[in-house]
Amino acid sequence: MSTPLGPAAALRRIAFLLERAREPTHRVAAFRTAAAVVDALPEGELDRRIRTRTLTDLRGIGPKTGAAIVQAHAGDVPEYLARLEESHAELVPLADDVAEFRSALRGDLHTHSDWSDGGSPIREMAEAAISLGHEYMALTDHSPRLTVANGLTTQRLERQLDVVAELNEELGPFRILTGIECDINVDGSLDQTDELLGRLDVVVASVHSDLRAESAAMTERMLAAVANPHTDVLGHCTGRLLIPREQREGRRQRPRPESAFDAEAVFSACVEHGTAVEINSRPERLDPPLRLLALAVELGCQFAIDTDAHAPGQLDWQGNGCERAVETGVDVDRVVNTWTADELLDWTVG
Ligand SMILES: [Zn+2]
Ligand SMILES: [Zn+2]
C-alpha cells in the first residue's frame, strides 16, 4: 500500500484480508464492528479518546482493534495490517495462466448485501469491488420466497433500485448493476414479478428448495427457468455443498450432494436461450463440478465466473472459479463478465 489508510479504512482492510483467508467470522466481524464505531464518532472524539487512552472503553473496540486505530491515526500502517498484507500476499498464489484469466474479469455478477443475507452494506461491497479493480458488480440479493435469507419483497427491491441509483451517481465510473438472485420455483417460474425482473440489469436464477427432487422434475424446473427471457445466469446449478457452513444466527448447514438433473438438456437449453452457466467460486460450492463444467464447455455454453460473495472479502474468491475454468478449457471470451458493462447490458437485455 502506498498511502496509509485512515483508521476505519485500515480496520476494513484487515477484515477484508481475514475474510479472504477464511478466518472465523467473529474475528472478521470484530474489525468491521470497530470500523463502524470509528465512523460513528462525532468530530474530534477519536482524537480525544486516543489522547486520553480511553479508546477501548468504547463498546466494540478491544486491544487489537484499538492498537490498529492508534497506529492508523498516527499515519502509520497498523502492524497487524502490515503482517497480514505480507503473509496473505503469498496466500495460495494463482498459477500464471489462472492469474491471467482472472485479470480478464471486469466484474462479478452474483453478490449479496445486508439487504438479504449478506453481512455488509451495498456501499462496502462496492468499495471492495473497486479496490479489486472491478468495473462493475451486479447486486443480486435474494427473492421473496427465500425468507430464511431475508429475501426482498417487490417493494424492498424497488427501494433498493433507488439506493443503487444514488450510489452509482457517487461511485461512477464504477457501476453497481441492479439484479436479483431469483429463486426458481418448483414449477420452474421465477420468484419475482415479470415487470420488476424486466427492469433489472442482471437476473441470476437459482434453485434453493426441493433439492432432492427426482431428476425428471428437476430437469423440467431448470429448463423452464433457463428459457425464461429474464434469466441471464443459471446460478450454482447442482446446489451441492462440499463442507458444512455457518449461516446467519449460527445456523449450520450440512454438506449435501449434487441435485440430480439432465445436465446435457439443461446446458443445451442455456446455449439455445443465451443463459450463462455460473461458475460459482464459493469454496463450499465450487459448482458445477468439473465433469459437468467440462460438459458445458463441450456444448458451447457461455459462463459467468461469480463469487456469490456475502461479505466484501469474499469478492476476492474469483480465483477459485478461474482455476476451474482454466482446468476445463473455458475460452475467456465466452465468460460474460470479461465484457465491459455496456457489452454485458446489451447481452442481458437482448
Ligand atoms: Zn444461491
Ligand atoms: Zn447467492
| Structure confidence by residue, pLDDT tens digits, 178-215 | 999 999 999 999 999 999 999 999 999 999 999 999 99
Ligand nearest to the CA of 111: 2
Q: Is 176 helix (H, G, I), strand (E, B) or coil?
A: strand
Q: Is 214 helix (H, G, I), strand (E, B) or coil?
A: coil
Distance (angstroms) between ligand 2 centre and the Cα of 157 equals 16
Ion ligand 1 neighbours (CB, 5 A) are 206
Contact between residue 282 and residue 318 where contact means Cβ atoms under 8 Å apart: no
Contact between residue 252 and residue 246 where contact means Cβ atoms under 8 Å apart: yes
The residue type found at 327 is E
Ligand nearest to the CA of 307: 2
Distance (angstroms) between ligand 2 centre and the Cα of 110 equals 6
Contact between residue 72 and residue 304 where contact means Cβ atoms under 8 Å apart: no
What is the separation of C-alpha 341 from the centre of its chain, rounded to a whole number of angstroms?
A: 17
pLDDT at 151: 96
Question: At a CB cut-off of 8 Å and minimum separation 6, what does 56 contact?
Answer: 62, 63, 66
The residue type found at 311 is A
Backbone conformation region of residue 127, classed left if phi is above 0, alpha if psi is from -120 to 50, else beta: alpha
Helix extents (H) in the chain: 7-20, 25-40, 45-51, 63-73, 79-89, 96-103, 122-131, 154-171, 194-199, 215-227, 263-273, 290-299, 318-327, 341-349
Euclidean distance between the first and final Cα of the chain, in Å? 41
Ion ligand 2 neighbours (CB, 5 A) are 181, 308
Distance (angstroms) between ligand 1 centre and the Cα of 181 equals 7
Distance (angstroms) between ligand 2 centre and the Cα of 308 equals 5
CA dist 68 and 137 (Å) reads 30
7: its cell numbers: 483508521
pLDDT at 249: 64
Q: Pairing between strand 245-246 and 233-234?
A: unpaired
Distance (angstroms) between ligand 2 centre and the Cα of 34 equals 27
pLDDT at 248: 61
CA dist 155 and 41 (Å) reads 33
Distance (angstroms) between ligand 1 centre and the Cα of 105 equals 21
pLDDT digits (tens, 9 = 90+) for 209-255: 999 999 999 999 999 999 999 999 999 999 999 987 776 666 778 88
Ligand nearest to the CA of 116: 2
Ligand nearest to the CA of 314: 2
Distance (angstroms) between ligand 2 centre and the Cα of 17 equals 21
CA dist 76 and 71 (Å) reads 5
Contact between residue 262 and residue 215 where contact means Cβ atoms under 8 Å apart: yes
Sheet architecture: strand order including 303-306: 107-111, 136-139, 175-183, 202-206, 233-234, 276-280, 303-306
Distance (angstroms) between ligand 2 centre and the Cα of 84 equals 28
CATH topology of domain 93-349: TIM Barrel (3.20.20)
Distance (angstroms) between ligand 2 centre and the Cα of 59 equals 32
Distance (angstroms) between ligand 1 centre and the Cα of 334 equals 22
Distance (angstroms) between ligand 2 centre and the Cα of 293 equals 19
Distance (angstroms) between ligand 2 centre and the Cα of 114 equals 12
Positions in the chain short of pLDDT 70: 1-3, 88-92, 247-250, 350
pLDDT at 23: 82
Q: Pairing between strand 107-111 and 202-206?
A: unpaired
Reported residue count of the chain is 350
Distance (angstroms) between ligand 1 centre and the Cα of 149 equals 10
The domain spans of the chain are 7-89, 93-349
Distance (angstroms) between ligand 2 centre and the Cα of 309 equals 7
